[in-house]
Amino acid sequence: MLKTCIIILLLFSAQLFAQTPPIDPACLPVVAIKESQNNICLGSGVTFLATVTNKGTNEVYKWKKNNVDAGVNNNAYFTSNDFRDGDVVVCEYTCKAACGVDITVKSNPVTMHILNNIPPSITIANYDPLICEGELTVFTTTASYGNGQPSYQWFVNSKPVGSNSPHYSTSTLTNGSKIECVLSVTTPSCPGQPITASSQMVIYVYPMIHPTIMITPGKTQICRGEEVKFTATANGGAHPKFTWKLNGQQIGPEAPSLSITSLKNGDVVSCMVTIDQDSRCHTSTSAPSNDVVMEVKDYIDPTVTIASPNLNVCQGTLVSFTATPQNAGSYQVYQWMVNDKIKGNGSATFISNQLANGDKISCILTTDIPGCSFTAAVPSGTEVVKIKSVPVITFLPSEVSVMRGEQGRLNASVSGNAASVAWTPEASVLAPHSLTTSTVPLIRDTVFNLTVVDANGCAASKEFTVKVLRKLDMPSAFTANDDGKNDVFRIPPDASLRLQEFSVFDRWGNVVFITSDKSKGWNGTYQDKKLATGTYIYVIKGIVLDKEVMVKGTVTLLR
């Protein structure tokens, strides 16, 4: 191991000493370029000359404008008509240096400045936050145009206005007017077409507000209690305030509409509009509306009463209520309420057997008013029902099972005082009028019904099933000859057993069949091979009446 480590260390040291020695910078070329002219006009020609120090052999010159190869391999590069302001020119020089290495070096960059190629920009602004109709307003400009000479032309809705000035004033604007300024820039040393830029904006001019208001009622001839909606149409600015008055007294919210249901004959409704306090574009601050005089017709109020023939009943008994209206119209809808929750079907009668003791019953009648165009909702009084509880029957135990031919025990308890007790079928119990009794010997599952009537005359009934269990009677032989008759040795399906394990053994004690599924049986085979006829032993383990049982026996296999 030590020898291997020494060898690796020696190889690593040899690699370190074998590295290439550094190159002497004095042998490397240096390239510099210079343009023949700058700050020129668009379309002027320029010659670039590259000067190389420490030239090598196999020289290659690669000129680039804006990092794009110009396709020129020479120490001089001439171009015209294609410079734009900000273009950058460099030269890459490639050669084999005097020290024998291939190298590429890059020159200094030259940035070109084109006097008449600087894009001008202009933005117009208006710092008046609110321009009223007919008010003087001033527009200003923020412009950029390099060393050129600017001139300004203003337009309103595409028509020239103003003078050659970076500012424009006017008092004749209308809402939606489009203001535009076009900036033209010329360069005296570079003749040709001027370069232009423009900016525009659309102005919102607030109209001068002359406050006015008109109110309109939904109707002026109504019945007492009928709702009337008044709507105001006003010239009051963007957010006017409305002050409604009834007979000269302020009412309702400060909104453009008002709904009233308490009008009387001869009442006068009016409204005052007030413009925004912060608005300066107005001739006055408020204006009154027209007066609306109301004609109100009186009538006799409808009423409704409810009654029931019996408010003291047993739980589950049907209870009926009937509503009787007075002074109602031809349209009548009844909304019944139980403890203030909606019940019923809209008729004048309400019937239920789901009421509880102390439930409060009431009714709301919706009806039309004769001679009026609206309906009224009229509440009735409240009736409180008294519901007597019914006996509660409890069976102990809750389940009874007996073997076939045995008697069962029936044991019941009842809440309250039982006045009478009756079991049915009466012939199947020994004491049909007692809470505790025994059945006759049973051969099948039997359903018993217990009816109890308490001292208040309230009755209750409840069913109780006595289950009859069947004994485990296993067959002594079976014929596994595939004739469809007695081919399988199994547990009878009606046996009252919860199976845990069913096993079959040959005479040497080997297991030939085992299952925990009561529905499955042995077909006389083991591992798909038919076994010989003879006697076999079976063992059944399970639970009967919550007790573990084990049954052993023999069965004869025939073919």
What is 181-221 written as a DSSP string? EEEEEEETTEEEEEEEEEEEEEE--BPPB--EEEEEES-SE
Contact between 311 and 297 under an 8 Å Cβ cutoff? The reply is no
CATH for 118-203 is 2.60.40.10
- Mean pLDDT throughout 386-397? 93
Omega prior to 160 cis, within 30 of 0: no
CA distance 260 to 238: 26
The amino acid at residue 41 is C
- Mean pLDDT throughout 454-462? 92
CATH T-level topology, domain 477-558: Immunoglobulin-like (2.60.40)
Residue (of 485, 487, 492, 491) closest to 530 by Cα position: 487
Residue 277, pLDDT above cutoff 80? no
pLDDT at residue number 4: 39
pLDDT at residue number 1: 39
CA distance 307 to 514: 74
Q: What is the pLDDT of the chain when averaged over all its residues? A: 90
CA distance 555 to 533: 10
CATH for 393-469 is 2.60.40.10
Domain boundaries 212-297, CATH class: mainly beta
pLDDT tens-digit series, residues 536-550: 999 999 988 778 989
pLDDT tens-digit series, residues 94-123: 999 988 899 999 999 999 988 888 889 999
Homologous superfamily of 26-115: Immunoglobulins (2.60.40.10)
Contact between 520 and 540 under an 8 Å Cβ cutoff? The reply is no
Domain 26-115 and domain 212-297, same fold? Reply is yes
303-385: in CATH 3.30.70.20? no
Query: 21: pLDDT confidence band, cut at 50, 70 and 90?
Result: low
| Sign of torsion over alpha carbons 72, 74, 75, 79 | negative
pLDDT tens-digit series, residues 337-377: 999 999 988 899 999 999 999 999 999 999 998 888 888 89
Give the domain ranges of the chain.
Answer: 26-115, 118-203, 212-297, 303-385, 393-469, 477-558
CA distance 521 to 241: 94
Contact between 538 and 502 under an 8 Å Cβ cutoff? The reply is yes
Query: 288: pLDDT confidence band, cut at 50, 70 and 90?
Result: very high
E strands in 292-359: 292-293, 295-297, 303-307, 312-314, 319-326, 332-338, 341-343, 349-352
Residue 2, pLDDT above cutoff 80? no
CA distance 58 to 94: 8
pLDDT at residue number 10: 35
Residue 425, pLDDT above cutoff 80? yes
Residue 421, pLDDT above cutoff 90? yes
Query: 245: pLDDT confidence band, cut at 50, 70 and 90?
Result: very high
Omega prior to 493 cis, within 30 of 0: no
pLDDT at residue number 271: 97
pLDDT at residue number 111: 95
pLDDT tens-digit series, residues 163-178: 899 999 999 999 999 9
pTM, entire model: 0.42
pLDDT at residue number 278: 66
N residues, the chain: 559
Residue 510, pLDDT above cutoff 90? yes
